[in-house]
């Protein structure tokens, strides 16, 4: 419900109603909405850390695309945490710290993956002022913008989710493609098609 209505717009009694329990039962475990949000933030941290710790073969397009899909799936499930970033984090040091930890860990894993991929020949070395750090920063910034967008126009929630995730794949690939080797770029493109189950309309053919 937070993803659909926004944290600031969804009171606890509506959550209880959607769960078909009384407000009293819900507030027995979560006395305030802020406590519930903090619990969800801890779940997000646990799930994202598990995804980021999964081993990725940087020479395997399937392994890389699977990792990206897992990260995107996790971020999407907790979209409210990023969509309401200012509302949630401005006065709550705990949530602010959670956000900064997840940001730094995600960017760090992306950077390390790029560095390893370059060392193994599937990516081209960066030319200044570009760097693996800057590319990782840009991907995180893109994901934040994507999570905050109003993904409307779909007839169902599943279509909305699928379309939004494909958009994330489009933007991810557009950022990394200039640095990929001529062999790895089309392989990653095809693998992303498989992971996100639909055509990625990038305007031009890859490869």
CATH number for position 173: 1.10.357.10
Q: Is residue 29 part of a domain?
A: no
Q: Closest Cα partner for 177 from 148, 138, 128, 146? A: 138
- Label residue 31 by pLDDT band (50, 70, 90): low
- Label residue 65 by pLDDT band (50, 70, 90): very high
Contacting residues for 68 by C-beta, under 8 A, at least 6 apart: 169, 172, 192, 195
Q: Closest Cα partner for 73 from 204, 206, 195? A: 195
Q: Is residue 11 part of a domain?
A: no
Mean pLDDT of the region 47-57: 94
Mean pLDDT of the region 177-181: 95
Three-state secondary-structure class, residue 180? strand
User: Which of 38-42, 151-155, 202-206 is modeled with the greatest confidence?
Assistant: 38-42
Domain count across the chain: 1
Q: Is residue 32 part of a domain?
A: no
- The pLDDT, as a whole number, for residue 79 is 85
Q: Closest Cα partner for 176 from 128, 129, 132, 121? A: 132
Q: Is residue 69 part of a domain?
A: yes
Mean pLDDT of the region 92-114: 91
Check whether 207 has a pLDDT greater than 60: no
Q: Is residue 117 part of a domain?
A: yes
Give the lowest-confidence range in 9-23, 24-38, 125-139, 154-168.
9-23
Alpha carbon distance 8, 166 (integer Å) = 28
Alpha carbon distance 173, 205 (integer Å) = 13
Check whether 155 has a pLDDT greater than 60: no
Contacting residues for 9 by C-beta, under 8 A, at least 6 apart: none
167/1: higher pLDDT? 167
pTM, entire model: 0.80
- The pLDDT, as a whole number, for residue 202 is 46
Q: Is residue 18 part of a domain?
A: no
Q: Is residue 120 part of a domain?
A: yes
Are 19 and 36 within 8 A, CB to CB?
no
Check whether 142 has a pLDDT greater than 70: yes
Q: Is residue 26 part of a domain?
A: no
Instruction: State the residue range of the domain holding 127.
Output: 37-196
């Amino acid at each position: 419900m937070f993803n659909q209505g926004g944290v600031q717009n969804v009171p606890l009694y509506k959550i209880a109603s959607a769960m078909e329990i009384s407000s009293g039962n819900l507030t027995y475990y979560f006395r305030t909405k802020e406590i519930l949000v903090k619990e969800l933030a801890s779940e997000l941290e646990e799930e994202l850390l598990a995804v980021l710790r999964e081993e990725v073969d940087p020479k395997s397009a399937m392994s890389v695309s699977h990792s990206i899909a897992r990260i995107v799936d996790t971020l999407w499930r907790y979209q409210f945490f990023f969509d309401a970033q200012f509302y949630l984090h401005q006065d709550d040091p705990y949530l602010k710290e959670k956000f900064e930890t997840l940001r730094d860990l995600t960017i760090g894993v992306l950077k390390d993956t790029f560095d390893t991929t370059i060392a193994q020949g599937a990516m081209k070395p960066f030319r200044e002022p570009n760097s693996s750090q800057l590319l990782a920063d840009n991907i995180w910034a893109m994901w934040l913008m994507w999570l905050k967008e109003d993904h409307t126009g779909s007839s169902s929630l599943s279509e909305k989710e699928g379309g939004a995730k494909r958009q994330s794949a489009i933007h991810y690939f557009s950022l990394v493609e200039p640095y990929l080797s001529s062999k790895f770029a089309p392989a990653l493109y095809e693998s992303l098609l498989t992971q996100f189950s639909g055509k990625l309309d990038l305007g031009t053919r890859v490869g």
